[in-house]
Structures are given as structure tokens and as C-alpha cells.
């Protein structure tokens, strides 16, 4: 699955909160990371966060909910920008967090914002995970393969996370889920983009009650050499065979660019399409140093993507 880029902590001292970062599907998303770095049920070849260091199916309370909610409260009380959504995501599998339901309820009460969860779907066979996840407003589950060999090759799951469990759990969850479900399918050439898997995926997806199917590819470098994105034409051809609910969410050109610069540039453009901000607002919101933000702003003004406007003593940027 792909996660909204975590970027840097928005405030110094913030350990579990990151962003906000622009997400093509969720808007301006404030991330909450509730598992230690690379604690996951999978070790996907395309993972942007590096190799999994703890592969597990055991749910744990890695951090106290009060500690996470306290950070969220502090972030909101000093925020220069209001996010559109709070998202449970990060550098591992968030459904491994044993008190996820309690955290979702607490965060919704505290922020009044919609709550989203990005999950690799591997633990949906557990009743308690389905029950806790049902409290989120938006769920973005993944399904990269419906053929066992491709599943093992691309996701490299924990032995207890079988494909049968994943598909069964996903089907059961989506059948009764009342929020918005955006099913992501990430395809990587040489791993899970062969015709046998695509055919099996079409059959499985046809049975799932997802609102949209979002086709993606590995745009950024993964953990294995040779993980390359599918080109836009191939993705578009596959999309047409996946039916009217399917969109391609990979960037049109699926080309690699400088990660940090691109993320910050996209972040700034997404923010400014919502409201004018000063450079200081953006430094505070993204935790980025002023020279870095200034350089990106200068580039965007030169390219006429944004405008600078003086109001009183402040210089505002807007799209």
C-alpha cells in the first residue's frame, strides 16, 4: 500500500503526528503513526519506508492513546493550517495498534475532523480489527494480488497472513462498512502485473463493495532494486478492464523526481489552493526550515504557479 509521504514532524517534539501532507485522495491529511518504524505484517518490495524490521501479526499498544491524543491536541492548538482529515498511517501497519478503536473515537471527539485509516488489509480476518476499523469515516485498504505466488512475491507477508484470510476479511469488512472505502491496487512490473493476477484481481474486486478502486504503481524507489513503475499507458489499459469504479491515482507521467523537493512543492501547492499563507505559516505547518521553503516559493513564483501579495506587513502567497 502507499502512504501519504510523512515528511517531517510538524512541530519539534512531535513523535506520532506528522504533516499535514497533501494526499490526492484525502486532501490535506494530518498523519498519526501508531506503530514503531517498519513494524508491519508485510515487507513489500515497493515499500517507501525501507525493509520491515519487525514482521508480526501480534497487535500491541505500542504507545498509550493518551500520549498520542495529547500530541494531537498540542498540534491543533498551535496549527497554522487546518487539515481536512486525520489519517492513521505511517511507516508500518496501523491495525497492529491494539487500541485503534479507542484512538479513532478519541481523535474524532478531539478534532471534529473525519478520520481515515490506510491499511494493507492483512488483519481484517480478525473480528476486533473489523469492529475497530468500522469506526473510521474513510478506509483505504489494499489488495495487490489475488494469486498466491504474486501475493508472496510482492507483499512478502507474515506466515499467518494468508491470502485467503486477507480476501475473506476484506470481503466481510466491506460488506457491512458504512463509511467510504477506497480500495488500492498497487502494481509493479515483474511482481504482480502479469495477466493471471490481473484476471484474478478483476474477479475478486467484482465481489467487493468498495466505493472506488484506485490503481497505483511504485512511483518512488522501493526496498528491492528493479522495482519500476508501470507506465501511464499500461495503467490506463488495465484501468479500462477493471470497470467504471476504477481510477488511476499514480501521477500521470509516473516519473521519478527529487523526493523531498517534490513533496514540499506539492504540499505547498495543495495548501495554497485552500488558503493564502505566509512563508512563516508554511514553515510552521510543515516543520521545514525557512531557506528550504523560500527556495520552493521562489521557484513556484518564477513558474507562475503561485502569486505573492502584500497585505499590511505580511507577504501572502496564493494560487
Which spans of this chain sit near ligand SF4 (rule: CB under 6 A)?
1, 40, 42-44, 47, 49, 52, 92-93, 120
| Minimal distance, residue 304 CB to ligand SF4, in Å | 36
Residues 6+ apart with CB under 8 A from 69: 103, 106, 107, 110
| Minimal distance, residue 49 CB to ligand SF4, in Å | 5
Choice between 95 and 111, CB closer to ligand SF4: 95
| Minimal distance, residue 277 CB to ligand SF4, in Å | 31
| Minimal distance, residue 90 CB to ligand SF4, in Å | 8
Residues 6+ apart with CB under 8 A from 271: 20, 22, 28, 81, 277, 282, 285
Choice between 31 and 106, CB closer to ligand SF4: 31
Q: How far apart are CA 35 and CA 305, in angstroms?
A: 37
Q: How far apart are CA 196 and CA 219, in angstroms?
A: 23
| Minimal distance, residue 314 CB to ligand SF4, in Å | 40
Choice between 190 and 289, CB closer to ligand SF4: 190
Choice between 48 and 294, CB closer to ligand SF4: 48
Q: How far apart are CA 262 and CA 24, in angstroms?
A: 14
Choice between 1 and 272, CB closer to ligand SF4: 1
| Minimal distance, residue 93 CB to ligand SF4, in Å | 5
Distance of CA 247 to the CA centre of its chain: 16
| Minimal distance, residue 18 CB to ligand SF4, in Å | 14
195-228: b (≥16 Cβ within 10 Å) or e: eebbebbbebbeebebebbbbbbbbbebbbeebb
Choice between 6 and 172, CB closer to ligand SF4: 6
Q: How far apart are CA 58 and CA 68, in angstroms?
A: 20
- The residue assigned the cell 501480534 is 58
Amino acid at each position: 500500500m502507499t502512504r501519504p509521504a510523512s515528511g517531517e514532524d510538524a512541530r519539534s517534539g512531535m513523535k506520532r503526528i506528522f504533516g499535514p501532507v497533501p494526499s490526492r485522495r484525502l486532501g490535506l491529511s494530518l498523519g498519526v503513526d501508531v506503530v514503531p518504524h517498519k513494524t508491519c505484517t508485510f515487507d513489500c518490495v515497493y515499500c517507501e519506508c525501507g525493509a520491515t524490521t519487525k514482521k508480526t501479526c501480534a497487535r500491541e499498544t505500542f504507545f498509550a492513546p493518551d500520549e498520542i491524543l495529547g500530541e494531537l491536541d498540542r498540534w491543533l492548538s498551535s496549527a497554522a493550517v487546518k487539515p481536512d482529515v486525520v489519517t492513521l498511517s505511517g511507516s508500518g501497519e496501523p491495525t497492529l495498534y491494539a487500541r485503534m478503536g479507542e484512538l479513532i473515537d478519541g481523535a474524532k471527539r478531539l478534532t471534529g475532523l473525519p478520520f481515515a485509516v490506510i491499511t494493507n488489509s492483512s488483519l481484517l480476518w480478525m473480528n476486533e480489527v473489523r469492529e475497530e476499523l468500522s469506526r473510521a469515516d474513510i478506509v483505504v485498504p489494499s489488495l495487490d494480488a489475488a494469486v498466491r505466488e504474486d501475493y508472496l512475491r510482492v507483499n512478502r507477508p507474515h506466515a499467518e497472513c494468508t491470502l485467503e484470510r486477507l480476501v475473506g476479511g476484506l470481503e466481510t469488512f466491506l460488506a457491512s462498512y458504512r463509511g467510504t472505502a477506497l480500495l488500492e491496487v498497487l502494481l509493479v512490473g515483474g511482481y504482480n502485473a502479469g495477466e493471471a493476477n490481473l484476471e484474478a484481481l478483476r474477479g475478486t474486486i467484482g465481489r467487493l463493495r468498495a466505493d472506488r478502486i484506485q490503481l497505483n504503481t511504485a512511483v518512488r524507489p522501493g526496498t528491492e532494486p528493479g522495482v519500476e513503475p508501470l507506465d501511464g499507458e499500461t495503467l490506463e489499459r488495465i484501468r479500462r478492464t477493471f470497470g467504471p469504479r476504477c481510477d488511476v491515482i499514480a501521477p500521470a507521467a509516473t516519473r521519478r523526481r527529487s523526493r523531498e523537493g517534490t513533496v514540499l512543492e506539492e504540499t505547498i501547492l495543495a495548501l495554497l489552493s485552500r488558503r493564502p499563507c505566509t512563508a512563516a505559516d508554511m514553515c510552521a505547518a510543515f516543520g521545514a526550515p525557512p531557506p528550504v521553503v523560500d527556495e520552493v516559493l521562489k521557484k513556484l513564483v518564477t513558474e507562475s504557479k503561485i502569486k505573492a501579495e502584500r497585505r499590511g506587513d505580511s507577504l501572502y502567497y496564493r494560487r
